[in-house]
A = this chain, B = another copy of it.
C-alpha cells in the first residue's frame, strides 16, 4: 500500500551538528510536521550524548535546579545502579531513572517535503522541573478555530513522562501552556478543530498494575484543563498490537471521517503503524481499524539502529490526494512513506467490523 521515499532515510544523525559543545548527535527521529505557506515544517527530535571514550563510565545528562546542563557520572559496574539498558540507568535503591542521552526539538523547513534544512539552535529544549531530562516526540496541529499551531511533546524528568504544550502562530514566538497531561502519558495528538464546541485530543496513559496501554480520548474547554476521559482503542491479546498502542499523527480530515495513523508494538517491542477511522462528530467511535499493519519495519534503516525494529510516526500530511507519513526509523533516523489516500481509505473501509459500532 505504501511506497517508501527513494530518498530514505531522509535525515540521519550525521546530517546535523550538535547544539552543545562536547556532545554528539545520536538520534534524529520522531518528528512532527505541518504545512506553513508553501513549505513543510518539521520539528525533529534530536538526541545528544556527551562525547567520551571511557567505557567504564556512563555520563547521564540532566538539567539542574539552576537550569544548567549537568552530568551524572556513574561507573558501569557500580552495584548501586542498574546499567544494562542502553537508554537509561536506574538507582537500585530508589528506582530513580537517569537517561543516557538528552533530546531537544529542532526546526526544519522543506519545499518538497523530502529535503529539509534545519536551524542550528534548539527550537525547544529541557527545563529544570518537568523536562530536566529533555523534550521528545513533538506533534504539530494547525488549529482551524484558533488559527494557530499547537505543539505537544513528551516532557521527561524524574517525575516521569508528562505531556507539555506550547502555542505558536509563527514558530518564532512560543507561548508555553504548561503540562497538558500528567505522568505517565505520552503519544498525545490534538484534533485540528473543535468538535461539539470542545477541544479534543487522544492520549495514552501508562497505568501501573495494568497491561492496558490503550488510546484514550479527552476534551477541553480551553486547551488547559482536560477531562471526560474514555478509552477509544485497545491493545489486542495477541499479535502485532499485543504490547501497546499509542497516537501517532494528529487526526486528518477525510470525507469518510477522521483518519488516525497510530503505532502498535507487540510484546517483543516490534513497532508497526496502523490506522483507524472515526465519524466527523464522534471521535470516540472507531468505525474501521486496520486488521494488519499498514507499515512494518523491513528495510535496514528500520531494522537496525539505536533501538531496532521500529517504525513510529508523529505526523502525516495529505497533499494532492497523497497520504505522506513521516516516521522515525529504529529510534535513530527519519523516513517518509506515501500512499494514495483513496487506497488507504478503501482498505480501511473493507475492515469495518460490527464490534466497532457501539
Contact = CB atoms under 8 A, between A and B. Distances in A.
Interface of A: 88, 91, 93-97, 129, 158-162, 178-185, 203, 205-212, 214, 216, 219-222, 224-231, 237, 242, 267
Given A158-B211, A159-B207, 14 more contacts: A93-B267, A94-B237, A97-B209, A97-B211, A158-B212, A159-B210, A160-B205, A178-B227, A178-B228, A178-B229, A179-B228, A220-B225, A221-B221, A225-B228
A293 B85 CA distance: 37
Kindly name the residue among A158, A180, A208, A224 whose own CB sees the greatest number of chain B CB atoms within 10 A: A208
User: How many identical chains are in the complex?
Assistant: 2
A229 to B, nearest CB: 5
A184 B209 contact: yes
A91 B219 CA distance: 33
A203 B129 CA distance: 18
A226 B228 contact: no
Kindly name the residue among A160, A185, A203 whose own CB sees the greatest number of chain B CB atoms within 10 A: A160
A159 B95 contact: no
Contacts of A95: 210-211
Kindly name the residue among A159, A162, A181, A231 whose own CB sees the greatest number of chain B CB atoms within 10 A: A159
A160 B208 contact: yes
A231 B226 CA distance: 18
A209 B99 CA distance: 11
A211 B96 CA distance: 5
Given A94-B237, A225-B221, A209 B88 contact: yes
Contacts of A209: 88, 97, 160-161, 184
A129 B231 CA distance: 9
A182 B221 contact: no
A222 B220 CA distance: 11
B210 A158 contact: yes
A216 B231 CA distance: 24
Contacts of A222: 221, 225
A162 to B, nearest CB: 8
A181 B10 CA distance: 40
A216 B182 contact: yes
Contacts of A159: 207, 210, 212, 214, 231
